[in-house]
């Protein structure tokens, strides 16, 4: 198996594992997801689906999946960053707002409410996991995915420019 497929499969499996852990926190530890948590879940799903798309496409079109995954990871960085900002400024909260109402009306929130329904508040101080908040961990993973997908996306382009299409 080549490095590209390993990268795509690993990224997909890690995203699915992170979503499974989010469900554990929600269902077992009773940590309700806020609108920003749900948006981060969507970003992880988008990264995984992008990697699966890349796996399904011919090798020459893998960059489409890497590009979509990179955009999803960068979006996740923005969402997690905003969530961290809210946690650092407790006077500001996303609270129950139009964002939550809109998110909960999306098809996936209605079809899979256990995964995509926002019920919590963004400024709820849940206990840290290994010293970091949940959005901090999400940020770390989004940065890792952005780096891996970005390097792979741009490395493939550079290799083609250096060696031609046949290599």
Quick one: pLDDT band at residue 124, thresholds 50, 70, 90? confident
Q: Does 36 or 101 have the greater pLDDT score?
A: 36
Pair of tokens at residue 88: 């650092």
What does the pLDDT average to over 35-62?
A: 91
Quick one: pLDDT band at residue 100, thresholds 50, 70, 90? confident
CB-based contact 23:115 (threshold 8 Å): yes
User: What is the structure's pLDDT at 97?
Assistant: 62
Tell me the pLDDT tens digit for each residue of 7-41: 899 999 999 999 999 999 999 999 888 889 999 99
3-163 CATH fold: Bromodomain-like (1.20.1550)
Q: What predicted TM-score, i.e. pTM, was given to this entire model?
A: 0.84
71: number of Cβ within 10 Å = 16
């Amino acid at each position: 198996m080549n490095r590209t497929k390993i990268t795509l499969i690993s990224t997909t499996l890690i995203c699915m594992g992170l979503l499974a852990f989010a469900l554990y926190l929600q269902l077992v530890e009773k940590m309700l997801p806020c609108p920003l948590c749900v948006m981060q879940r969507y970003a992880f799903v988008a990264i995984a689906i992008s990697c699966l798309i890349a796996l399904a496409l011919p090798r020459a079109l893998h960059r489409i999946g890497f590009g979509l995954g990179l955009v999803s990871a960068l979006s996740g960085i923005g969402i997690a960053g905003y969530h961290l900002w809210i946690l650092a400024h407790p006077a500001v909260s996303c609270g129950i707002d139009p964002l939550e109402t809109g998110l909960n009306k999306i098809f996936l929130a209605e079809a899979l409410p256990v995964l995509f329904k926002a019920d919590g508040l963004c400024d709820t101080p849940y206990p840290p996991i290994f010293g970091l908040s949940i959005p901090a961990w999400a940020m770390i993973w989004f940065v890792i995915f952005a780096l891996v997908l970005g390097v792979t996306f741009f490395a493939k382009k550079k290799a083609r420019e250096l060696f031609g299409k046949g290599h």
